[in-house]
Amino acid sequence: MTVATNDPPRIAVQAAIFSVRAGTDRDELMIPLVRRTREPFLDQWALPGGWLGDAEGLETAAGRTLAATTGLAPSWLEQLYTFDNASARVVSVVYWALLRSDLVEAQRAAAGSPENVEWFPVEALPDLAFDHRSIIEYAVWRLRNKAGYSRIAAALLPDEFTLAELRSVYETVLGKRLDPSNFRRLLEGSEALVPTEDFRTGPHRPARIFRYNAEVDFADPGPL
Amino acid sequence: MTVATNDPPRIAVQAAIFSVRAGTDRDELMIPLVRRTREPFLDQWALPGGWLGDAEGLETAAGRTLAATTGLAPSWLEQLYTFDNASARVVSVVYWALLRSDLVEAQRAAAGSPENVEWFPVEALPDLAFDHRSIIEYAVWRLRNKAGYSRIAAALLPDEFTLAELRSVYETVLGKRLDPSNFRRLLEGSEALVPTEDFRTGPHRPARIFRYNAEVDFADPGPL
DNA sequence: CCAAAAGTGTTGCACCTACACCCATGT
DNA sequence: ACATGGGTGTAGGTGCAACACTTTTGG
């Protein structure tokens, strides 16, 4: 692919999309990648994305990419960073997103995966096109970071969940075990969760089911 | 200004540039703005910026804007956010930067301010073009935030400084008074500063002069 | 009765805040 | 001498991590 030196730069939008998958030991943080169908990096895995459409907003374009890749709307979507590739005359705006794991499962069962899309654990990525590996690492860093002071992890779960399920998400995202009792106290003190009257049963004492407090925001003001 | 619907979007780069100015009571956080010379928002104040040049990198363009506005190179430069204005067919990548206050003073004394550039305290901004006011508020939020866990504030001072001078910068950035003794302990425990053998004299006990420890980074991995 | 997870209580440590106090200089 | 800021010491409080312990279910 050759580009005339004075073409105006084109604008691409890409998305690092995260969800969690139940694993045997602990859960895994998963990300969907697409196999490239053209040069450069033909047949390599890459972040899903596309060109910014005429009269299209950046976030809209990111949502469109998400829908094309997963058939779903994100429960969280935030801009990550804007990269330039002066030699290729491309500026690429990368977003990161969270999807509810139950919706991902349902969608896969119903519609299967689109051609050329595959989910990988972030701990075991294949070779990636461009510098997409370091972009993903940066996105993971942001996710971890934000999980510390915000309630984002909730966006990976259904509306209703037990504390153990939520804790498992945090453990997956943060990559370390958390003390159940301390975790409970932290969240019960935070106003972020509302207890329901329902319980999840199993071979153990029933666990109370919670939902998010819709009043509570996800911290940090955002650009606007 | 009218734009054909199918023009490719143009890419603008803007910079929110910060420095501190000694005030009578406490110091002030200052930001340079430029008066617009064309519609829309003719004659209103706005963030300095310009179009991304052919084959120019984003950060390079931000540095160029900085030099044009202040005649200086920043001691800190970081991408803030990318905004779109679909109706105007513009995508604008905003950076934020820190300048050493001594260099700003020296430059003003030597060369004066460029035409149409004026520094304002962030606490007393004029009416601004576009949504630049909220962009500046977001940049201030990021600066405050980062000052908490990083050593950025140092980028606003000369190479050598006393603890009181550094504390004053933190107080300006964070907008609150800090306890001198606790501030000292915090930084002395952090490895971020290296004591020199010099002292700053005045009508009081001489204050030891410090410099930054070049080994210490400014936290957070950045996108690459 | 036992295993397993839910949920409660308690203790200790680390860190931060506030503030009392001494030190060294210029005027 | 004294005013001013530099610099040290210390006591109280807050929050978190670790862990012992009780509770409630299914098998």
The integer distance in angstroms from the CA atom of A133 to the C1' atom of C1 is 53
Structure tokens that stand for B36 in this block: 């617009």
Q: How far apart are alpha carbons B29 and B169 in whole angstroms?
A: 9
Section B193-217 average pLDDT: 90
The integer distance in angstroms from the CA atom of A102 to the C1' atom of C12 is 41
B82 contact residues in A (CB cutoff 8 A): 58, 79, 82, 93
Of residues B67 and A87, more confidently modeled: B67
A134 contact residues in B (CB cutoff 8 A): 223-224
> What does the pLDDT look like over B44-72, one tens digit per residue?
999 999 999 988 999 999 999 999 999 99
> What does the pLDDT look like over A145-189, one tens digit per residue?
998 878 899 999 999 999 999 999 999 999 999 999 999 999 998
The integer distance in angstroms from the CA atom of B21 to the C1' atom of D1 is 35
Supply the pLDDT for residue A171: 95
Q: How far apart are alpha carbons A107 and B123 in whole angstroms?
A: 50
Nucleotide showing the shortest C1' distance to residue A181 CA = C7
Q: How far apart are alpha carbons B128 and B120 in whole angstroms?
A: 12
Q: How far apart are alpha carbons B62 and B32 in whole angstroms?
A: 14
Q: pLDDT at residue A1 above 60?
A: no
**β-pairing, A117-121 with A193-202?**
unpaired
Nearest residue to nucleotide D18, by CA–C1' distance, is A179
Supply the pLDDT for residue A7: 67
**CATH of A10-147 given 3.60.20.10, 3.40.980.10, 3.90.79.10, 3.40.50.12780:** 3.90.79.10
Q: pLDDT at residue B217 above 90?
A: no
B135 contact residues in A (CB cutoff 8 A): 223
> What pTM was estimated for this model as a whole?
0.93
Whether domain A152-212 has CATH 1.10.10.60: the reply is no
Q: How far apart are alpha carbons A188 and A180 in whole angstroms?
A: 12
Section A9-27 average pLDDT: 91
Indicate the domain borders of chain A: 10-147, 152-212
